[in-house]
Amino acid sequence: GDDGVVLPDRIAGYRTFTADATRHPAGKALLLFNSGSSEIFRTAQSLALSEDGRNYRDVPAVAGGIRQALLSPDGGSMLIVERFEATGGFIHLDLKTGKRQDIPLPAPVGVMLHAWSPDGRYVAFAQTPWQGSEASNALELELLGKGVLSVLDLTTWKTTDLPEITPAAAASFAPGSEQLAVQRGSEIWVVNVDGSRARQITLPMEGPGITPRVAWSPDGRWLALIEWQTNGTKVLQPMNGLWTTQRFTTVRFVDATGAGRSAPEPVTAGHVLGWRTPRSIVALDYKDWTISEVSLDDGRRRLLSTFKKAHTCELGTQPCQLEEVQVATGLLSSMTVKSAQDPLRGPWPLWLQLIVAAATVVIGLIVYRIVRRVRRRALANAWQSTNASPSADLPESPRT
Domain holding 232, by residue range, is: 6-346
Convert the chain into a string of H (helix), E (strand) and C (coil): CCCCCEEECEECCCCCCCCECCCCCCCCEEEEEEEEECCCCCEEEEEEEECCCCEEEECHHHHHHCEEEEECCCCCEEEEEECCCCEEEEEEEECCCCCEEEEEEEEEEEEEEEEECCCCCEEEEEEECCCCCCCCCHHHHHHHHHCEEEEEECCCCEEEEECCCCCCCEEEECCCCCEEEEEECCEEEEEECCCCEEEECCCCCCCEEECCCCCECCCCCEEEEEEEECCCCCCCEECCHHHCCCCCEEEEEEECCCCCCCCCCCEEECEEEEEEECCEEEEEECCCCEEEEEECCCCCEEEEEEECCCCCECCCCECCEEEEEEECHHHHHHCEEECCCCCECCCCCHHHHHHHHHHHHHHHHHHHHHHHHHHHHHHHHHHHHHHHCCCCCCCCCCCC
Shared domain check, 103 and 66: yes
Q: Across the 400 residues of the chain, what is the mean pLDDT of every consecutive 10-residue run?
A: 88 93 96 90 92 96 92 98 96 97 96 98 97 89 95 95 92 97 94 86 88 97 93 85 69 91 93 97 93 97 94 85 95 96 85 61 75 78 69 51
158 occurs within a structural domain: yes
CATH number of the structural domain spanning residue 84:
2.120.10.30
389 occurs within a structural domain: no
395 occurs within a structural domain: no
Shared domain check, 359 and 290: no
Shared domain check, 362 and 317: no
- Say how many C-beta atoms besides its own lie within 10 A of residue 204's C-beta: 13
Shared domain check, 139 and 274: yes
Shared domain check, 205 and 67: yes
Shared domain check, 355 and 249: no
Shared domain check, 373 and 263: no
364 occurs within a structural domain: yes
At 361 the pLDDT is 67
Shared domain check, 375 and 332: no
At 356 the pLDDT is 56
201 occurs within a structural domain: yes
Shared domain check, 304 and 369: no
Domain tally for the chain? 2
184 occurs within a structural domain: yes
397 occurs within a structural domain: no
Domain stops at, among 346, 364, 389: 346
46 occurs within a structural domain: yes
Shared domain check, 276 and 301: yes
At 267 the pLDDT is 96
Shared domain check, 203 and 121: yes
Shared domain check, 362 and 320: no
